[in-house]
Structure 1
């Protein structure tokens, strides 16, 4: 069992805001934000051909030539349930990526600002099992990594778990660090990881939607209440550029064509309707509505919500 990395304090992220979807309250819990070279996400992108004044190529989506990426999770509170969608990078974990390694963020304080504690969470839904979506699922108790939410069941799909624990993902695991070993397998060992169908209805207001492509068992989380609707897209829309060019997938997609198809299907479904999209990595975790752009692709209409 690997001990946690030596902690280093990092700056906090932008204060979060809550959004209401009928009787459901949604609050982002941002861990941190960082900048990344566009070619790391889109290796074949002709950066020089992009209009510098394009909406998706200006702040807050791009600053000083770098893409702006947020890392975190979302709290979803229904009248009966308290769920967490994804779980960030985590703290004190050894990672090859310097931006992910050895973090000591005040994420649980942000969770408290969202109105809940770790004990309140009854369900953790992983849209997929990438390193930046599972980290806070476990904590180090002095001798081992254990579930961080003591009253929660953790949900993933068979295709997702099989892929990331199987031989086909060995190269990715070596590149990303032993995050499956410290953030996913301890859940299985503790008997709290549930392998569910990708179209599971969790409760009256929340259901899963199959969206394979970015990863083999990737899912969306859909919230419906009082005639309103919201969709947690995970990494289906990693950056705003993919709204303007929905056919373009990132270098992190296991199946780029499948990811492109799933993204375009989602955007066609929700465009020009009163549906909130919650991408996992947009700056400040700001949700928005999708609007068809007459020039091609789609635009993003952000919704600020209420301060926590």
Structure 2
């Protein structure tokens, strides 16, 4: 993704992993082959690898630089976490290298926003040091939705926070270090950065809004994993916490941003990573025009 400017704010993508990844029929319980092939004809070519039959899925962090702060939104899977398949892919050094190539060091991060607390959105939150997980970004405040945190704290206490020990390794050390800010639905960092609740994929998934000089971008986390969910909002992903609520959140979001010029940046869309959308008729869908410039 080329750097994007929203008024006085710049947005860059730091990629951990990209390429063909999952079969849509495995990932979406509502998958219909004829419907998918119908939409595929008018989708951007980079979203599906026909040779392998796999969706192209990217794991990335968005680096948001405002006149006041340097912010990360979601932190991929991290390193030294011994993740089980399919999150055991190699090449984690890429993420660090791309961040540093932007001229950003760990010490320069002011805030880390997590749209939700899943394995592939919290990994670089912490670093293994002397056998302990500690915050990777020593000067940052980490923004977690308070009810999202509470839900995963409860799941962890029951021993049911798969895969692995995501809460223990990626989230709890942030709170113990005093660097967490547990936020409500209406949290606003300032007039440039706010949250919007979009629950369903996780208990209290949220989007991160970026406003500047009359323009808006939204880092949409896992509100949608693939562009097919824009065309078919009811195709909730298999990992969703509440599939029905996930679909409701997508429809509400699309209705709000369609035809407004809002730049939508889902974390798992391949480069150019997102675009601006328009309404797509009675089915409640959403067509994304890729942001190539």
Shift of the 143–66 alpha-carbon distance from structure 1 to 2, 3 Å rule, reads same
Q: TM-score, normalised by structure 2?
A: 0.92
5+ long unaligned stretches in structure 1: 1-15
Within a 5 Å distance, the mapping from 1:61-80 to structure 2 comes to: 61-63=47-49, 64-80=52-68
Determine if contact 1:25/1:77 at 8 Å carries over to the other structure: yes
1:81 aligns with 2:69: yes
Within a 5 Å distance, the mapping from 1:204-223 to structure 2 comes to: 204-223=191-210
Shift of the 42–57 alpha-carbon distance from structure 1 to 2, 3 Å rule, reads farther
CA distance in 2, matches of 1:55, 1:49: 11
Tell me the secondary structure at the aligned position of residue 50 of structure 1. Answer: helix
Match of 1:127 among 103, 111, 115: 115
Determine if contact 2:125/2:135 at 8 Å carries over to the other structure: yes
Within a 5 Å distance, the mapping from 1:1-308 to structure 2 comes to: 16-34=1-19, 35-51=21-37, 54-55=40-41, 59-63=45-49, 64-100=52-88, 104-167=92-155, 170=158, 173-174=161-162, 176-284=163-271, 286-294=273-281, 296=283, 297-305=285-293
Tell me the secondary structure at the aligned position of residue 37 of structure 2. Answer: coil
* Equivalent in the alignment of 1:4: none
Tell me the secondary structure at the aligned position of residue 260 of structure 1. Answer: helix
Determine if contact 1:92/1:103 at 8 Å carries over to the other structure: no
Q: Which moved more, 1:47-56 or 1:82-91?
A: 47-56
1:164-189, Cα deviation, whole Å (9 max, x unpaired): 11138957524x11122111111111
Determine if contact 2:83/2:164 at 8 Å carries over to the other structure: yes
CA RMSD of aligned residues (A): 2.0
Shift of the 65–172 alpha-carbon distance from structure 1 to 2, 3 Å rule, reads farther
5+ long unaligned stretches in structure 2: none
CA distance in 1, matches of 2:77, 2:221: 14
Shift of the 233–28 alpha-carbon distance from structure 1 to 2, 3 Å rule, reads same
Deviation at 1:248, TM superposition (A): 1.9
Deviation at 1:50, TM superposition (A): 3.0
Deviation at 1:111, TM superposition (A): 0.7
Instruction: Give the length in aligned residue pairs.
Output: 289
Q: TM-score, normalised by structure 1?
A: 0.88
